[in-house]
Amino acid sequence: MSKQISANTQLEDVQSSCDKRQLRIDQVGVKGLRHPILLRDRAAISQATIAEFTLAVDLPHHFKGTHMSRFVEVLNAHGRELSASQLPRMLAELRTRLHAETAHIKMTFPYFLEKAAPITGAKGLMDYIVTFDAADRAGELDFVMLVDVPVTTLCPCSKTISDRGAHNQRGNVRVALRCSGEMMWIEEVIELVEASASCELYSLLKRQDEKFVTEKAYDNPVFVEDLVRNVATRLNQLERVTWYRIEVENHESIHNHSAYAVIEKG
């Protein structure tokens, strides 16, 4: 028969036992943990969505393991609707509860914007993938926002050399950035990227709208090199952006591979 166990039963703390390999672990924790969050958008309207979390801390060389349950406890302690403003406090709690020098929280979530079609005004929801990557290193906070924006691009070379039409592709632009002082709104990043492409995407288009976006892309051809430079040029005009990394991948329509470009500042 198994022994009766209560919440007050004292059990051996194996994680806190000594490890003799003398190897510090940079990050250890939990990954793939889903939790509801509540965000305030630029229009001061709250948007509820679900984020996938990674929570981690560093582990000194002399400890065998970390206490995984404490990561979940810290996350759950902040309620069912977590906001981005709570991240600094959560990071501090992770460092304290797990006796760590550094703590990391990464949360990835879909973010929705209602967009009206360019001619008919028909409205539909567009979703964008956003990641907040925050760290507390001995009390020094670091915050990186990443936004994935899908766009349309049309090949300038194809347009120049072809008698009929030009091939286009779905592009994905990932912008990661740090700001000093005032952060950028997610909407700002999306609008900046979409203005840099041949045309933006919509979830709902009628025939009149489809004609418009097809011709707009044709009139604004960009290589993958043009797109990454366009985004970088616009970010360079914003003094509050202290660092960025822009990755662009065009999923080619006439090749079995993608075109790819990166610019990093700082």
Q: Which residues contact 210 (CB under 8 A, 6 or more apart)?
A: none
pTM: 0.89
**CATH class of the domain defined by 25-265:** alpha beta
- pLDDT category at 5 given cuts 50, 70, 90 is low
Q: What tokens does 159 get?
A: 């347009």
14: pLDDT strictly greater than 60: no
What is the band of 205 on the pLDDT scale with cuts at 50, 70, 90?
very high
**Mean local confidence (pLDDT), 44-53:** 90
Q: Which SS3 state, helix, strand or coil, does residue 120 take? A: coil
Is residue 70 within 8 Å of 28, Cβ to Cβ?
no
Domain segments of the chain as ranges: 25-265
DSSP per residue over 28-53, as a string?
EEEEEEEEEEEEE-TTS-EEEEEEEE
> What is the C-alpha to C-alpha distance for residues 39 and 69, in angstroms, rounded to an integer?
26
Q: How confident is the model at residue 259 (pLDDT cuts 50, 70, 90)?
A: very high
Cβ atoms of 90 and 132 within 8 Å: the answer is no
Average confidence (pLDDT) over 201-213 = 97
Mean pLDDT for all residues in the chain: 91
